[in-house]
Chains A and B, each alone.
Chain A
């Protein structure tokens, strides 16, 4: 390992000062460090969103409760939804995209490393902007879905909606940049021999997710720009009294919002598709079908948005059409679940923590999928929509699915990223507490919804039969919180005194396990030649049809390492993100700030663009 010390990510061996260390993170363009930044930011926002949820559960623990008032509760559910979707699950997925895509495709970095850093800093500035609303006492209160015309200047005159709308716009820029970056990376940067069908399934699901990102975000961007014009410049896009249409917002929002659901779940599906083969010790069953199913889900994902709107009165023909398209999307989803079961079938399953979370994903996501089929049927949906049944449904998808999957990924790749093994016993305690708490919180909510408890109510009457299971749900929520404390203590303990991880602690199948843990800054000393989806497995064990294991490649020489060119660090991504934040927050403060921020942004963009420009030979100095 010592030979790699000089090539640790972003290391500045000559300046071991605090400032040097901080600066090396602020200026890093290394995809691995950016991945760590994304992951740790996302985890912090995940905890903030979780605390918001706990306060809501306290308020709902009993009827006519007074822990928080109506206004605060409305702010809490708005920020909880917005935070979990945009600031927790999406960046947690982005952490894995960043760290794992180059490693799994055998690349040394992403296609545009500085753009990658820019995505992160813009993400962080958007997240901080959104949370600045707490400081200014104008916390968004229109719901994460921000339905017009409640968000109009007439009905929400304070700055609450402005913080939400501008925050989402900033986050959208970050997602678009990251999406294009990963698309180009996956298309162009694969190691020789890695054909599309040899890409690991996590890469495939990430690939589909990037398409969804770059195609879906423009829809909400348009919606938000119209809202911004309505609020700031007095246009009337969503003002019904003037001929505007509040349903236009719903269409634009859900045309983004439904693909967004798949943006949140597909990465987790990809992670599960990596974990299961590793721990069952056999290839993913029907990998091409899993891949095609992911593509189908992404494609159909754009044709089902109005199933969020069955109650708005679109008429029977539209209801029928969107009902059928929604049921269609259940087919590839179900196929995936059966293929995962097929992967386990006939395996030799090692029960280690990452697998627990992957199995938890299958068990819980199945339930979320099945309740989803229920409200794919508009008549059934009419009763269930906007009740706790739907709250239960999408938490089974996004928590039982995405969060279980992402934690599976965290446990799976933790040794690769940190070089330390997480404690197995604490990991399993975490899993069981989370599983128990999750089901205690959300399973009763199906029942509460069916006996009529609507969403987004800060209080309820005591005589409706909702009291007991609301209390249970609150207890469950605190059990979930406890499970995360176990996770945090696991991280702290093993970081201090954990077992050192070997390069391949799980007996993995894909390229990232062929390099040291943590990987050197250049990832692969020698770009690998890929022959199979499970390339490393073949190297270790042969193809299982009598083909012998491949000979180990010759040791890498110092000269080879010295010849590797890596991009230099840069301050401009950070400065450009700050300049943009100054410009956009000027919309709430003063026109001068917009102008100054705009000029700064232009300047930073120019410097960013010209930073690596070298005058042609013979023309320069």
Chain B
């Protein structure tokens, strides 16, 4: 039969090579350009694992990546091929009205199921492996995620610190996650995670750091105004260096000798600072971070700023200005008072 001449309005038609060309160009140029400019070895990279946990998840990521890359090439390739091969040609007859092909459809359904099975088996193995109960020999760390900073307690070593987490290589660490206020998420991209920190529910995560170094961590669950500023640092030591750090933290802080720092100590003990902060032998507040060894940390305030006298002074003068929504009140300290306090805190090595 011959097709009836249709009464449709026609558009001026040109062979549409541009479509094939541009579609290909967009997909591949974006990919290629991106690849060239991609440095994977960055401070919060998830793809260069530095722990057993990180390796377990990364292996599955790579397995799935290769399969999906294959399917991606097959689908996009078939799409481009169809666009080129089956484009309308002048005077072409109406194509054969094919309604389907059951064996073909069954086979690609099965093919998908098989590929997913290949992915599912190691996935389930890894689920159970990465959620093992903590070993008795594990280093225990109690993590407290708070708006918007982190507290770390080492119950076996009787150490409390904030925003900087020190770990040894080669020993399983068991983190017990607590949230006194809202939900947070504990994440050290290069070591593993995340695990949500949920109020009134102690989640745990275990991992064994393998490479010494410094790794940034960050809260990964939206937790209010300064969620973006709820960062922390992880310092992974060799076991010997870790022992040194533990010893240093267990020693009470030395009395300040510098007159400015001594003045700062007086201000600290006589102001409301003591209501929120603990300094071993000086005060016992529990709302804000423990400051006993404040001077030994390189950053403060949710690891937002480096611990320089200038930064600490500014912070004391107006915490809210540096960390929006900060719960530490502005105590109305004068410039001199803040400087003295900063000197005292930084002397607490």
Q: Residues of A at under 8 Å CB distance from B?
A: 69-71, 74, 143, 147, 149-150, 155, 240-241, 246-247, 280-283, 285-289, 311-313, 315-316, 319-320, 323-324, 327-328, 330-331, 334-335, 337-339, 341-342, 344-352, 356, 359, 362-363, 366-367, 370-371, 373-374, 376-380, 382-387, 421, 424, 432, 435-436, 439-440, 443-444, 447, 450-461, 463-466, 468-469, 499, 501-502, 504-507, 540-544, 546, 548-549
Contacts and interface: CB of A to CB of B under 8 A. Distances in A.
Interface stretch (B65-73, B243-251, B256-264, B333-341): B65-73
B78 A540 contact: no
Given A285-B99, A385-B194, A457-B227, 20 more contacts: A155-B181, A282-B95, A286-B99, A319-B131, A347-B95, A348-B86, A351-B83, A356-B19, A359-B19, A377-B61, A382-B192, A383-B192, A421-B9, A424-B11, A432-B22, A451-B44, A452-B45, A452-B216, A459-B229, A548-B1
Contacts of B275: none
Nearest to A544: B97
26 contacts: A147-B183, A247-B198, A280-B86, A281-B94, A283-B97, A286-B101, A286-B102, A311-B194, A316-B131, A320-B124, A335-B108, A344-B86, A348-B92, A362-B75, A371-B68, A374-B61, A374-B64, A380-B64, A382-B57, A382-B130, A386-B222, A452-B44, A502-B7, A507-B8, A540-B4, A543-B97
B61 to A, nearest CB: 5
B99 A283 contact: yes
Nearest to A327: B116
Contacts of A443: 30-31, 34
Interface string B152-185: 0000000000000000000000000000011101
B16 A313 contact: no
A546 B96 CA distance: 12
B113 interface: yes
Contacts of B216: 452, 464
Given A283-B99, A287-B100, A450 B45 contact: yes
Given A283-B99, A373-B116, A379-B123, A362 B64 contact: no
Contacts of A543: 97
A444 B43 CA distance: 18
A334 B30 contact: no
A608 B83 CA distance: 53
Contacts, number: 337
Contacts of B71: 334, 366, 370
B26 interface: yes
Interface in B102-126: 102, 104-105, 108-109, 112-113, 116, 119-120, 123-124, 126
Given A346-B95, A439-B27, A451-B45, A377 B196 contact: no
Contact of B79 (A362, A436, A546): A362
B206 to A, nearest CB: 12
A519 B192 CA distance: 59
Contact of B227 (A240, A366, A456, A465): A456
A328 B119 CA distance: 12
A150 B26 contact: no
Contacts of A280: 86, 95
B220 interface: yes
A366 B76 contact: yes
Contacts of A150: 182-183, 222-224
A443 B128 CA distance: 32
B228 A447 contact: no
B222 A455 contact: yes
Contact of A440 (B30, B44, B183): B30
B208 interface: no
B86 A347 contact: yes
A312 B113 CA distance: 28
B195 interface: yes
A71 B83 contact: no
A69 B39 CA distance: 29
Closest 5 pairs between A and B when the two form their complex, measured CB to CB: A452-B44, A465-B42, A457-B228, A286-B100, A544-B97
Contacts of B1: 542, 546, 548
B199 A246 contact: yes
Nearest to A243: B200
Contact of A436 (B26, B44, B56, B221): B26
B142 to A, nearest CB: 16
B301 to A, nearest CB: 13
Given A313-B196, A468-B37, A346 B86 contact: yes
Interface residues of B, number: 109
A450 B182 contact: no
Contacts of A147: 183, 221-222
A506 B228 contact: no
Nearest to A309: B196
A373 B68 contact: yes
A444 B30 CA distance: 9
Nearest to A447: B38
Nearest to A537: B97
Contacts of B87: 348-349, 351
Contacts of A502: 7-9
Contacts of B189: 383, 451-452
A330 B221 contact: no
B138 interface: no
A473 to B, nearest CB: 11
Contact of A285 (B4, B40, B98, B222): B98
Contact of A349 (B4, B83, B108): B83
B332 interface: no
B286 interface: no
Contacts of A544: 94, 96-97
Contacts of A348: 86-89, 92-95
Contacts of A351: 13, 16, 19, 83, 87-88
Given A316-B131, A351-B16, A464-B43, A282 B222 contact: no
A330 to B, nearest CB: 6
A453 B71 CA distance: 27
Contacts of B44: 451-453, 464
B273 interface: no
Nearest to A324: B120
A499 B9 contact: yes
A323 B112 contact: no
Given A313-B196, A347-B95, A371-B68, A330 B116 contact: yes
Contact of A312 (B8, B79, B196, B218): B196
B38 A505 contact: no
Contacts of A377: 60-61, 64, 119-120, 123, 126
Nearest to B17: A351
Contacts of B282: none
Contacts of B34: 443-444, 447, 469
B287 interface: no
A505 B8 CA distance: 5
B16 to A, nearest CB: 4
B100 A288 contact: yes
A327 to B, nearest CB: 4
Given A147-B183, A386-B194, A440-B30, A74 B225 contact: yes
B226 interface: yes
A499 B34 CA distance: 42
Interface in B197-235: 198-201, 203-204, 216, 218-229, 231
B127 interface: yes
Contacts of B127: 316, 319-320, 323, 378-379
A547 to B, nearest CB: 9
A149 B198 CA distance: 10
A530 B235 CA distance: 72
A363 B31 CA distance: 14
Contacts of A324: 120, 124
Contacts of A316: 127-128, 131
A349 B95 CA distance: 10
Nearest to A372: B68
Nearest to B224: A150
Nearest to A444: B34
